[in-house]
Amino acid sequence: MRTIDELLTPPEAKALILEAIAHGEIRFTSHALDEMAKDGITQHEAIAVLRSGCVDPAELIGGTWRYRVRVRRAVVVAAFRSVSTVVVVTAWRVL
């Protein structure tokens, strides 16, 4: 497994996300919480998207690799703070 500072493949990112859900920590930025509230997305729903969604190839934004995780009706953007901590950066509903 690569370090979190390196670009991860979607399957590698998915594995780390699932590990963080099971044994680590999921954090939410204030921006994520604001955007989620606008679209009626709960923290529980965002975690469900992370658990079951498809991970897209990463984007490097502000020096941090960010991973879009999507299901049919919602998208959650996550970054890694450590191998056991995922931070939800933003989320929105797909209409």
Whole domain around residue 50: which residue ranges?
10-93
Instruction: Please state the domain count of the chain.
Output: 1
Query: Is 2's pLDDT higher than 80?
Result: no
Domain annotation covers residue 18: yes
Measured CA to CA, the distance from residue 67 to residue 5 in angstroms comes to: 13
Domain annotation covers residue 2: no
Query: Is 6's pLDDT higher than 60?
Result: yes
The number of CA neighbours under 13 Å toward the Cβ of 8 is 25
Domain annotation covers residue 56: yes
pLDDT tens string 28-64: 999 999 999 999 999 999 999 999 999 999 999 999 9
Output the six-digit token pair for 77: 């953007």
**Which CATH number is 60's domain given?**
3.30.2310
The stretch 2-24 carries a mean pLDDT of: 91
Domain annotation covers residue 86: yes
User: In 1-95, which ranges are continuous DSSP H helix?
Assistant: 10-23, 30-39, 43-52
Domain annotation covers residue 5: no
Domain annotation covers residue 21: yes
> Which pTM value belongs to this model?
0.94
Domain annotation covers residue 4: no
Q: What is the mean pLDDT of the chain?
A: 95
Any idea of the CA torsion for 91, 51, 19, 44, to the nearest 10 degrees? Answer: 60
